[in-house]
Amino acid sequence: MVGLLNIGKMGQSRNLKKLTKIMEYQIILPESIGDEWQNIGIDFEPQSITGNIKGENIDKPIISLKKYAISLDNRYLKDYKIIKEETKTILKLIV
């Protein structure tokens, strides 16, 4: 997001760009998500990673974020990625 800031000095004005910083965080959870899960995402109300098993159309919790004392707020989260690895799950958060 780019905003303009006008600064005037003795009748002169300049436009300066004010850049909003983007920060990226990684949270490594010591639980893995199996290959049977699809459509994996974050459900912000129960604070969990959810998905559905292939062939079913019902969202089910996979990993509770409350278990790890993590609370995410979707008002401040710009984007996220969930990376499945063999022994862990990595949440990449952009705020």
pLDDT digits (tens, 9 = 90+) for 52-88: 998 898 999 999 999 999 999 999 999 999 999 999 9
pLDDT at 20: 64
Average pLDDT over residues 43-58: 93
**Residue range 19-37: mean pLDDT, rounded:** 89
Q: Pull the structure tokens for residue 73.
A: 């707020």
Tokens at 66, concatenated: 């409350």
pLDDT of residue 45: 92
Predicted confidence at residue 19, as pLDDT, reads 58
41 contacts 34 by C-beta, under 8 angstroms: no
SS3 content of the chain, % helix, strand, coil (to 5): 5, 55, 40
Question: Largest Cα–Cα distance of the chain, in whole Å?
Answer: 70
Report whether pLDDT(42) > 50: yes
Residue 4 and residue 18 in contact, taking contact as beta carbons nearer than 8 Å: yes
Q: What is the pLDDT of residue 21?
A: 76
